[in-house]
Structure 1
Amino acid sequence: MGNLRSKTMAISRYRWQIGLIAVAIAVPAAGWGWQQWQQQRALSAARQALVAGNFESCLQQLAPLEHSQTLQPLLNNCRWQRSQQLAAAGQYPQALQLVLLIPTSDRQAPKAQAAAQQWSERVRTEAEQQFLAGNWSAAQQLLKSLPEGTPLTPTASALLAQWQQQWQQDSQAIAQAQAALSQARWWDVDRALLALSDHPYWQPQAQSLRQQAQQSIQQLAQQRPNAAAVAEDGTAIAETVGEAELEPRFRQYLAQGLPDYEAWQRACQDLGGQVIDRGPESFCSRDRPS
């Protein structure tokens, strides 16, 4: 009787162990089967979306499976098709984000690389148009919207730094010229504008400031008809060296790195004159008045 009980218990333990092993095998197998079913379902939905032209849905279906090597060709095809849709709608930064994800090993790579070059140039051109029109903030936003890896030469960051420096220099020159005009330092208006670039947004403003300063100088000269030139305070100045003579030499010394005032003095001396300071104003006179 005892032996029978022992045998029965041994058989029960054996069956229990077999059951545990079966469960251990069945659970992972069921999980693997579920994953396979999910993957096949997503793959089928992605293919249907691709055929239907719903490329955004195709990308959404494949997003959880983007690391699967077997699905890379389909995923990159969806990326390429969707990027073209975005580019056609003028959404070049978003199109670039997708097309730059396509690896060089993919069959879509040659077309993707050519498109990336073309679209990045489109954004750069649009940004430059905004910059030249005086919309600096819009130009900044466009350049900053370009994703990392965008094929631009110079790069978007380098172009942004270059334009920012030019914008600051030009706006500062205009501000200094405006300040000189408001303080009746009319001769200083043109000097301040020497630092201005040929930017089409600032040039009309510079021309207006020059005209206003010249009109004020002419009006003051008419009030002193017997003087060769007049200073800001209305006093006569002996023969002055004209701006047309001074400017080439002045620019030459500026190019050599001399400060503005020193360059002005050297240019005046080269032409046989002396710099006369009248308060905030300076003149180049060939005969120093008493």
Structure 2
Amino acid sequence: MFEGIAVAFTIFGTLSYAIGRTLLDAWAETAGIPVTVLHTDFYDTMLIGAQRPIIWRTAAILIVVSVAYVWASAVIPDWWAKRNATIRRKRRRQDGRDHLGVRQRFATEARLSTKGVPVVLRSSNTEWLRWKVLGLRGRHRKALLEAPKVPAKPVRRITQALFLTIFATVCLGGIYFLVRVVFLKPAMADGAQSFAKVYVAVTGHIPYQYTATSISADRLKSWACEGVPMLATYRTVELPVESDSSGKKEVFYVLQGAGSTFVLLGQNGSSLRSFGDNPFNLPESQARPLSTLAQTCPRG
């Protein structure tokens, strides 16, 4: 039991990290940011993955399957053995009755047909020959019918190694395919869409790095409306436009940061800005820029 719990926690932690890492990588890829720029802590990555509902559904399924396996391994062998014993006993009883009935019928017909016939002439009688074909009765007949036991030829070790290699390869390939399809691909799609929604809510169009280059107007509108509440978790700051020497400022959402490098999102798109080793200050702004699509969304 304790070993099973330890294995379950190990699988849960591994899947949480794999899903969290996949989601973050897809988010960074859609934002056009190298994965090495933003360093996410190991436990934060696991926490992101553990927040996915599929992780808890998988944990529940594993618990149910484990309990069912323990129950089946404890109950089914005894039930199956008793069932087979009962079936074999009934089958032997019925076979014995059938065989005994046929033997008695053949013996009766042979006795009646050879009544008064000399012994030397009985070999030409059909009923008598049919009765003789049945042979001896009981354990003598069974002893004659038993085939000699031939010892099984042992499988060569090289053949066993080949079968084990093929079996392990098929199992690993199946597990990889299952994890990729069930866990990683949905996390990858959600990570990309997570950035795309906030991007559409601010700029009004999909990111340039998003894989689906054409999206319907209704879906774009839906993404913009879904991105508005997601923007509430990010602070906005006013920073001077680097290409403008007049000191004009632009409002940006601070999406991510590592050290002195930040991922910013404004109405003209996303950008990476580094302040180097110099001290910097990012005071919060009251402005919350939204695209035209997001401005028409209903407020909850």
Give the TM-score of the pair, scaled to structure 2. 0.25
Larger RCO, structures 1/2 (Cα 8 Å, 6+ apart): 2
Give the TM-score of the pair, scaled to structure 1. 0.26
Which structure's residues are more often helix, by fraction?
Answer: 1
